[in-house]
Amino acid sequence: MEHRIDSSQFEASEINAILEMVRRRKPALVDAEGNRTELPEPLFKMLIHIAEQMEQGRAIVMMPEDETFTTQAAANFLGVSRQYLVDLLESGEIPFHKVGSHRRVYFRDLKEYTDHRDSERRKTLDKLFDEIAKAKKYESDYTGDER
């Protein structure tokens, strides 16, 4: 993958130096003639995010929101079977378009689906916890000490 940066390609000291620099002052690009251009705020925040993720040993993959996925790649992204994904597409849960006879899904639509799905899961869990707490069926013996 050409748009993948693996943290193992860098020494920890290099990543730490970048983080130290961007946390102290706003970085800028300087061309061969010495012209300085400060990074716009969104780009600056993205640079910090990338460096922090790499500091944690994570690889970074960047792709445009309109990147298209095959049904198998989309299923892999969601962690579901291809047939389950096709059912989601056909039911209208996730938008898709066709290229010839093949379904294609935009990355932004997959991301929107996962955000909505995760939000709904969180609401359901919160509601369940509230019901358990109201019924006084939850007692925590957790003290924070590991024995």
Tens digit of each residue's pLDDT (9 = 90 or more) over 3-20: 777 777 888 888 888 888
Residue 132 pLDDT class (50, 70, 90 cuts): confident
In angstroms, rounded to a whole number, what is the distance separating the alpha carbons of residues 78 and 41? Answer: 31
pTM tops 0.85: no
Burial 12-23 (b: 16+ CB within 10 A, else e): eeebeebbeebe
Domains along the chain? 4-61 (no CATH), 68-134 (1.10.1660)
What local confidence, expressed as pLDDT, does residue 33 receive? 95
In angstroms, rounded to a whole number, what is the distance separating the alpha carbons of residues 128 and 131? Answer: 5
Tens digit of each residue's pLDDT (9 = 90 or more) over 27-71: 788 999 999 998 888 888 888 888 888 888 888 888 889 999 999
Average pLDDT, the chain: 87
Model confidence at 144: pLDDT above 80:
no
